[in-house]
Structure 1
C-alpha cells in the first residue's frame, strides 16, 4: 500500500487483501455519514408530533448541518498532523454517541443538542474517510476508488429517505438513530484492524486562533443561510447580524492564517491555480445541485400530485446517472491519466439538465423529466469526486486532509447558501401573487417560480464549466507535486 506517484498501469494494479479491507471500512464510514443526512427527513413529521416540537422542527436538520460543516477544516488538518486512523475512529464514536442519545431524546431541545453531537462525528467521518483513500492508493489509480466513494455517497443519500420511511412505519422513529449503531461498531473495529498505526508526530502545533475564528465564521454563515427568511424574518436585524459576524470572523481568520507556522488552511495553496479553481467549481456545483434539486419534490407533490414516497422514487433516476458516471469516470481517468475534460463536460451536462428543468410544465410527460434527471445525475457523477482529486494533486501530499476538507467544505457551503437563496426566491415569487393566485393557481405559480430557480442554478453550473477550462491536467500536477514533496 503506497501513495507513490510512480505510474501504475490500470490493468496491472491490484489492491492487496489488507487494502481491500481498508477500502471497505472507508466506504462503510462514508455510507453511514451520508445516509444520516437524509434518513431523518422522512421521520420529521412523526418526531414533531411525538416530541410536541413542530415550531423547532427545522433545527433538527440545522443542528446536524451546522456542526458537520464547521468541523470539516479541523478534521482535515488534524488528519494531516496526527494520522487518520484514530481520528476516524474518534469520529465514529462521536457519531454513535450522538445517534444513541438522539434515539433516547425526550424533548425536541434534547434532540437538537444530540443531533449537533452526531454532526460533529458525521462531518469527520466524511472528510477523514475520503482523505484516507489517498494514503494507500497511488495517485495514478486514485480516481478509480474515489469514483466508488461518489457512488457510495450517492447511494446513501438517495437511499436514506426510503430506509427512513420503512423504519418509521415498522419500528418507530427512534430506530432511525439506533440503526447506525451496528454499522458504526462494525466500521470502528474494521478501521482498528485494517488501518496501519500512524507515525508519532514529533510536535503538533494546532492553529487554535484560526480554528476559533473559522468555526465562528462558518457557524454564523450556516445559521444565516439556514434560518433567514424562515426562523428570522429578512426585515429583522437577526440575519444581517449573523452575516456581519460571519464575514468579520472570516476576515480575522485570513489575517491570523498569514502568521501562524502551521495554519489551519495555508493561504499559499490558493496560489496554485488548480486548487483555487477546484474550490470555486465545488462551490458553484454545490449551489446548483442542492439549491435546485431540493425544490424538485415540491413540483412533484404539489403540482403533479405525487405522494412523498413516489416523489422520492423519481430521484432514483438521478441516482442511476450519478452512480454510473462516478464509477466509469474514475476508471477512465485511471486508464488515460487525464481528468480535465470530465469537470468541463460534467458541468456542461449539469447546465443542460438544469436548463431543461427550467422549462418544466404542469403536464410535461414524466418520461421527459426522468430523462433529464438521468442527465443531471450523469453530470454530477462526472464532476464531484474529480474535484477532490484535482485539489489533492495540487498540494503536497502531507496536506491531503486540508485539500479534501476544503473542497468538501466549499461544496457544502455552496449547497447550504444555495438552498437559502433559492428558498428566498421561491418565497418571494409566491408572496408576489395575490391570495387568490396562491389558492387557485398554486401549481402554475410554483412552476413559474421553479423556472427562475432552475435557470439561476444553470448559470452557476455554466460558470463552473468555464472555470474548469483553466484546470491543469494530471501530468502537470503530478510533476509539480513530486517537486513540492521533494522540496
Structure 2
C-alpha cells in the first residue's frame, strides 16, 4: 500500500497556495500600470470582480466534488484552469479581454485554496493540524511579502504581463508533487451533484455583482432595470434555499451552519474579505495616483500586510488549543479596527512608511482570525463534510472579496464622479487612467493635477471609512463565537 509523504505533500500545497495568494497581491500592484496601458478605469473593479465572482461560485462546487470524488482529481482540474487563465491574461490586448480571461482564471482558483487546505486537514491531525494550518495560513503573508515587491519590479522592468505568467511554473510543480506523493483511499460514493444549486448560486452572485458594479453607470439606481435585477436575485435566493433543503448532496448543507463556530467564523470571514480586497485593490491606487509614487513603493506598502500576517498566523497555530478561537479572534478584530481606523487619517503628504504601518496592523488581524477559523471549522465536522465545511469558509471569504470589490468600486467611482460634477469639471472617470501613469501625469497643468488628485484622495478616503465600519462589524460578530478553550 502506498503511503502519503507528508512533507512533500505540504511543500506542494504551499506552492499551490502561494500561487493563488501571489495572484491577489501582484495584480493589485500591477493594476495602475495595466489601467494606464489598456485604459478603461471605469471597468477597474471588474478585473478583480470577474476573478472573484468565478472563484466564489466554484469554491462550493469544488468543495463538494472533493468530498465525492477525492481531493486529487479536483485539485488537478482547478490548477489546470487557473494556469490556462493566467497565460491568457498575459496576452490580453484590451481591458475587456483581460476581464474575460480573469473569469477563466477564477474558474480554476475556486479549487486551489479550499482543496489545498482540505488536503492538509486530511493529512494532519489534532494539534499538529493547528500548527501546520498556521504555517499554511502564513503563506498568504509570505506571498504578499514577495508579491507586491516582485510585481513592482516586474512592472517597471519587463512588463505587467509577467505578473500572470509567474504562476505557471509554480502550478506545474504543485500538480506534479500532489500526483506523486498524495495517496488517497478510493472514493466509493455515488455522485449526486447539486446542479440546480450550482446554477442558482451562479445567477445569484452574477446578478448581485452586476447590480453593484454597473449601477449608476449602465443603468440608474432607481430604474426598472435595477429593480428587476434585485428581484431576480431575491427570487433565486429563495429557490436556492428550497433546493438545498431537498437535495441529496446539497451544495451548501445548511446543517453545518447550525454550529455556532462555523456560522460566526463564516460571517466574520465575509467581513474580513471585504476589508482585504479593499486594501489590496486601492492602496496601490492611493500611493500611485494620489501620492505620485512608483509601483514598487505601492508594493512595499502592501507588503507590510503580510509581514504581520505570517507572524500572527504562526502564533495563532501555536496558541489556538490553549486559548481557543474566541480570544485569538477577538484580539485579531481589535487589530483590524485599529488598522483600518488609521487609514482614515492618511494624507498624500505623509511618508508611505506610515501606510505600511497601518497595513501591518491589518495583517496581524487577518493572520489571527484566518488560522483560528480554518482549524476550528475542520475540527467541527467529520471527514465526509470537511471539504464542504472548509469550502464554506473560503466561499464566505471570497464572497466578501467579490462584494467588496464591487461595492467599494462603486463607492470610489460615484464619489469621484460627484466631485467632478460638483466642481463642473470637463473631466470624467477616464482621467484616472492618466493619474495612474507617471508619464501622462506629467502632461497635466499643476493646478489641474492638484484638483484631480484631491478628488481621488477624497474618493479613496470614503472607501477607507467604509473599511473601518466593516472592521467594527467583525469585532461585534466575534462575540457570537463559543467562548471555550481548544479548537
TM-score by structure 2 length? 0.84
Q: Which residue of 2 aligns with 1:34?
A: 21
**What are the ranges of 5 or more consecutive residues in structure 2 without an aligned counterpart?**
428-447
Aligned-pair CA distance for 1:23 = 0.7
Summarize the alignment of residues 314-353 of structure 1 with structure 2, pairs less than 5 Å apart: 314-333=301-320, 336=322, 338-353=324-339
Larger deviation, residues 202-211 vs 338-347: 202-211
Q: Which residue of 1 aligns with 2:463?
A: 453
Structure 1's 407 and 229: CA in aligned 2 closer, same or farther, altered over 3 A?
farther
Distance 1:207 1:457 in 2: 35
Alignment check: 8 A CA contact 1:99 1:180 kept: yes
Q: Which residue of 1 aligns with 2:443?
A: none
The answer to whether 1:24 aligns with 2:34 is no
- Pick aligned residue for 2:381 from 390, 395, 410: 395
- Pick aligned residue for 2:197 from 210, 226, 229: 210
Local SS of the residue matching 1:120: helix
Aligned-pair CA distance for 1:21 = 0.6
Distance 1:54 1:423 in 2: 10
Aligned-pair CA distance for 1:73 = 0.4
Distance 1:426 1:98 in 2: 28
Local SS of the residue matching 1:305: coil
The higher relative CO (CA closer than 8 Å, separation ≥ 6) is in: 2
Q: Which residue of 1 aligns with 2:369?
A: 383
Distance 2:347 2:40 in 1: 36
Local SS of the residue matching 2:324: coil
Local SS of the residue matching 1:205: coil
Distance 2:480 2:43 in 1: 45
Q: Which residue of 1 aligns with 2:479?
A: 469
Deviations 1:253-288 (A, max 9, x none): 101111112211111222211111111111122223
Alignment check: 8 A CA contact 2:152 2:295 kept: no
Q: Which residue of 2 aligns with 1:201?
A: 188
Deviations 1:126-176 (A, max 9, x none): 111111111011132222222222221233245334434444555455444
The answer to whether 1:288 aligns with 2:275 is yes
- Pick aligned residue for 2:120 from 133, 150, 157: 133
Alignment check: 8 A CA contact 2:141 2:305 kept: no
Q: Which residue of 2 aligns with 1:410?
A: 396
The answer to whether 1:97 aligns with 2:63 is no
Alignment check: 8 A CA contact 1:279 1:410 kept: yes
Distance 1:418 1:26 in 2: 27
Distance 2:457 2:13 in 1: 41
Local SS of the residue matching 1:24: helix
Alignment check: 8 A CA contact 1:284 1:460 kept: yes
Distance 1:294 1:57 in 2: 9
Summarize the alignment of residues 71-110 of structure 1 with structure 2, pairs less than 5 Å apart: 71-103=58-90
Alignment check: 8 A CA contact 1:286 1:411 kept: yes
Alignment check: 8 A CA contact 2:339 2:361 kept: yes
Distance 2:93 2:354 in 1: 46
Structure 1's 123 and 312: CA in aligned 2 closer, same or farther, altered over 3 A?
same
Local SS of the residue matching 2:123: coil
Larger deviation, residues 248-257 vs 29-38: 29-38
Structure 1's 398 and 333: CA in aligned 2 closer, same or farther, altered over 3 A?
same
Deviations 1:342-389 (A, max 9, x none): 111100111112122222344445554433222222111111232222
Structure 1's 187 and 65: CA in aligned 2 closer, same or farther, altered over 3 A?
same
What is the number of residues matched between the two proteins? 461
Larger deviation, residues 306-315 vs 34-43: 34-43
The answer to whether 1:435 aligns with 2:445 is no
Aligned-pair CA distance for 1:111 = 4.9
Distance 1:304 1:420 in 2: 24
Deviations 1:414-469 (A, max 9, x none): 22222333333334443444327995555555555544433332232222222212
Distance 2:352 2:92 in 1: 41
Alignment check: 8 A CA contact 2:337 2:472 kept: yes
Distance 2:375 2:170 in 1: 27
Aligned-pair CA distance for 1:186 = 1.2
Alignment check: 8 A CA contact 2:69 2:189 kept: no
Distance 1:68 1:24 in 2: 23
Q: Which residue of 1 aligns with 2:346?
A: 360
Distance 1:457 1:328 in 2: 25
**What are the ranges of 5 or more consecutive residues in structure 1 without an aligned counterpart?**
1-15, 478-487
Q: Which residue of 2 aligns with 1:300?
A: 287
Structure 1's 296 and 140: CA in aligned 2 closer, same or farther, altered over 3 A?
same
Local SS of the residue matching 2:122: coil
Alignment check: 8 A CA contact 1:82 1:198 kept: no
Aligned-pair CA distance for 1:322 = 1.4
- Pick aligned residue for 2:57 from 45, 48, 70: 70
Aligned-pair CA distance for 1:26 = 0.7
Distance 1:46 1:358 in 2: 25
Distance 1:260 1:160 in 2: 41
Deviations 1:383-423 (A, max 9, x none): 12322223223333321111111111111222222233333
Larger deviation, residues 292-301 vs 40-49: 40-49
